[in-house]
Structures are given as structure tokens and as C-alpha cells.
Amino acid sequence: EVQLVESGGGLVKPGGSLRLSCAASGFNFNTYSMNWVRQAPGKGLEWVSFISSSSTYTHYGDSVKGRFTISRDNAKNSLYLQMNSLRAEDTAVYHCVRDDSVWWGDILTGYYVHWFDPWGQGTLVTVSS
């Protein structure tokens, strides 16, 4: 069974740091790109960050750029999110999400289409004094 289990959430003061982990199982972790997506209490979903399968490429949302760092350890089937300079508005449930894709169209003009599946249950980060 494909499974993603997050850990590392908790209560932290503004300006503090926290490191989230995501343990992956049931699939070849080293062949998939991964993402973090968060959801503030009572709010919608917000994409946070992406990392390619071999860590060559990373992307970040504007609200976390320069403060958060995504990384992975393929030998340990683990994904991480280092969060620094935390703010009250970073309070959210953070989900680890696998990035899946398939080639769409013919070999000359086709492209990859992507989707997020599965999602971990999430870990709650609360930033408050």
C-alpha cells in the first residue's frame, strides 16, 4: 500500500524553526517528485514546495521563498521541509504529496500531465507566542 506519513509538527514561537519529515512506503520513492501542500485552519489548500526525484529541481511558493527549504533522502525514503523564520500565517496542516505524471499526446508534440496522489494525512504546525 502506498503511504505517506508526516511528522515533526508542533507549537513554535514566531521567528522560530521547525523541520517536517515525511516517510514514504509502498512505492519506488526515488523515481517520484514530491510536494508539500498546506492548509490553514478553515482555509483552502496552498501549494508550498516541489522537489524532483533526484533533488535536481526545487520550486517554492512566494509566501515561503527564502524561509523554507525542501529536501529528500532517497536512501531513507524520506522527504523534509525545513521551515525558518516562522510566522503566524504559517500555521497550517502540512501535507506531503506524491507528484505523479503520464506522457500525454504523441512523441513529438506531447507533454507530461501531472497530478497529486496520494496525500499524507498531514502534520499540524502552530506558530504562536
Partner 1 sequence: DIQMTQSPSSLSASVGDRVTITCRASQGIRNDLGWYQQKPGKAPKHLIYAASTLQSGVPSRFSGSGSGTEFTLTISSLQPEDFATYYCLQHNSYPRTFGQGTKVEIK
Kindly state the smallest distance separating residue 66's Cβ from partner 1, in Å: 14
Asked if 127 and 85 count as a contact pair (C-beta separation under 8 A), the reply is: no
> Residue 47's beta-bridge partner residues?
37
Q: Determine the 3-state secondary structure of 69 from DSSP.
A: strand
Q: Is position 27 an interface residue for partner 1 (rule: CB under 8 A)?
A: no
Within 73-92, the residues that bind partner 1 by CB under 8 A are none
Return the range that interacts with partner 1 (CB under 8 A); candidates 14-22, 23-31, 72-80, 107-115: 107-115
Q: Is position 66 an interface residue for partner 1 (rule: CB under 8 A)?
A: no
Q: Is position 122 an interface residue for partner 1 (rule: CB under 8 A)?
A: yes
Out of 18, 35, 70, 80, which residue is the one contacting partner 1 (CB under 8 A)?
A: 35
Kindly state the smallest distance separating residue 45's Cβ from partner 1, in Å: 5
Out of 41, 75, 111, 129, which residue is the one contacting partner 1 (CB under 8 A)?
A: 111
Cell of 66: 527564502
- The DSSP line for 15-31 is T--EEEEEEEESS-GGG
From the CA atom positions of the chain, what is the Rg in Å?
15
Q: Is position 120 an interface residue for partner 1 (rule: CB under 8 A)?
A: yes
Kindly state the smallest distance separating residue 13's Cβ from partner 1, in Å: 27
Say what the alpha-carbon torsion angle 129, 91, 79, 66 is, to the nearest 10 degrees. -80
Edge-first strand listing for the sheet containing 78-83: 3-7, 18-25, 78-83, 68-73
Give the footprint of partner 1 on this chain (CB under 8 A): 35, 44-47, 50, 59-62, 95, 102, 104, 111, 113-122
